[in-house]
Structure 1
Amino acid sequence: MTAAEVTPSSQPFTIDGQLCFALHSASRAMTACYRQGLEELGLTYSQYAVMLVLWQQDAVSMGSLCEQLHLDSGTLSPLLKRLEKQGRVTRRRRPEDERTLEIACTEQGRALRERARGVQRDVELATGMDGPEITALRDQLAGLAERLRTATALGEGRL
Structure 2
Amino acid sequence: MLLDDQLCFALYAASRAVTARYRPLLDALGLTYPQYLVMLVLWEQDSISVRELGAALQLESSTLSPLLKRLEANGLLRRERRPDDERSVALRLTDAGARLRDRATTVPLAIGDAMGLTAEEDATAKRLLRQVTANVSDA
TM range (shorter): over 0.9
Q: Which has the higher contact order (CA 8 A, sep 6+)?
A: 2
8 Å contact 1:93–1:101 — kept in the other structure? yes
Q: Which of 3, 16, 40 lines up with 2:4 in the alignment?
A: 16
**Alignment deviations for residues 46-101 of structure 1 (CA, whole Å, 9 cap, x no partner):** 00000000000011111100101000000000000000000001111101100001
Q: Provide the C-alpha distance between the structure 1 equivalents of 2:124 and 2:101, rounded to a whole number of angstroms.
A: 25
1:2-151 to structure 2, matched below 5 A, reads 13-151=1-139
Unpaired segments of 5 or more residues in structure 1? 1-12, 152-159
How many matched pairs?
A: 139
State which drifts further: 86-95 or 108-117. Answer: 108-117
- Indicate the larger mover: 33-42 or 114-123: 114-123
- Per the normalisation by structure 2, the TM-score is 0.96
Q: Distance in 1 between matches of 2:57 and 2:7?
A: 22
CA distance in 1 between partners of 2:134 and 2:95 (Å): 34
Q: Secondary structure at the match of 1:28?
A: helix
**Separation of aligned partners in 2, 1:72 and 1:141:** 21
Q: CA deviation at 1:21?
A: 0.9
After superposition, the CA RMSD in angstroms is: 0.9
Structure with max Cα Rg: 1
Superposed displacement of residue 120, structure 1: 1.2
1:23 Cα deviation from its structure 2 partner = 0.3
Aligned AA (1:126): A
- Which residue number in structure 2 is paired with residue 8 of structure 1? none
Residue type of the alignment partner of 2:48 = V
Q: Which segments of structure 1 move beyond 4 Å, counting only runs of 4 or more? A: none
Sequence identity percentage? 47
